[in-house]
Structure 1
């Protein structure tokens, strides 16, 4: 009898704490992932702000192609293309150094990471919006050693 009463009090206190936790802070899973396959637009640069960790930055171009006109299934249709440029930032120490050393303009890469929206002030004291891909993984689809030679 005493054991049952102790268990009942315990579960009531646990339930009360969990009810308080859910009302004050809702913990739910979310996902911020992106995968890009494209070509590097410029050789990477490494930057380091005062008191912050260094970062390797480069641009990656992805292309979207489609046929326009009446008959979009035939080879004769006009092909249109749109290129989107992405700013890639690599903060992870090992990956950052590899990217700086081996990523070259024109290389074909597969980049996985997350999207980060930020704000910065430019040289003219104007606030600007910036969208950055923070890379967690980079897969080289063209051999960086052959391209380096």
Structure 2
């Protein structure tokens, strides 16, 4: 293998407002907890929910400014970044470790507090097309909703493989 990969992609909700730290050199660091929740059924057939908490750290200046300006507790975001571990010594001289997500990119998902999606401007015009809009049948040409097309049947999808040798 020629190289390695350290890539993380998370969709979750902020556990609290971002914590902002400013430095004398003009730099900024933004840190916030992000919750990702998995729903599953246990052996007894009961629906269960498991939440993982991730510490997201943003150091990139422009991304940090966006986080400071627009993110709030409860907001849903898509984060891309890297796993980074940190080691430090606490006040009891114990070595501690922390795993963080060093964010490289972020997309804000869902409506903001005014009810507009993050990609919409003040007049409510969408700035880009998203899969969510297509599923809901949003027609970006006039801003109205249209009926969603029927999804192809499973049998129709199998026809694409006709004539291929099955293994």
Is the pair's TM-score, using the shorter chain for normalization, greater than 0.5?
yes
Q: Offset of 1:125 from its aligned partner? A: 3.3
1:93 matched to which residue of 2? 61
CA RMSD of aligned residues (A): 2.3
Match of 1:113 among 81, 96, 103: 81
Q: How many Å separate the matches in 1 of 2:52 and 2:26? A: 29
Q: How many residues align?
A: 115
Instruction: Select the structure with the greater relative contact order (CA < 8 A; seq sep ≥ 6).
Output: 1
Question: Where in structure 2 are there 5+ consecutive unaligned residues?
Answer: 116-167
For residues 124-149 of structure 1, the C-alpha deviation after alignment (integer angstroms, 9 at most, x for no partner) is 332210000000111111234627xx
Computing the radius of gyration from Cα coordinates, the structure with the larger value is 1
Q: Does 1:124 align with 2:98?
A: no
Structure with the bigger percentage of helix: 1
Q: Offset of 1:49 from its aligned partner? A: 6.0
User: Is contact 1:88–1:135 with CA below 8 Å preserved after alignment?
Assistant: yes
For residues 7-59 of structure 1, the C-alpha deviation after alignment (integer angstroms, 9 at most, x for no partner) is xxxxxxxxxxxxxxxxxxxxx42211000011110100112467694210001
92-101 or 52-61, which deviates more: 52-61
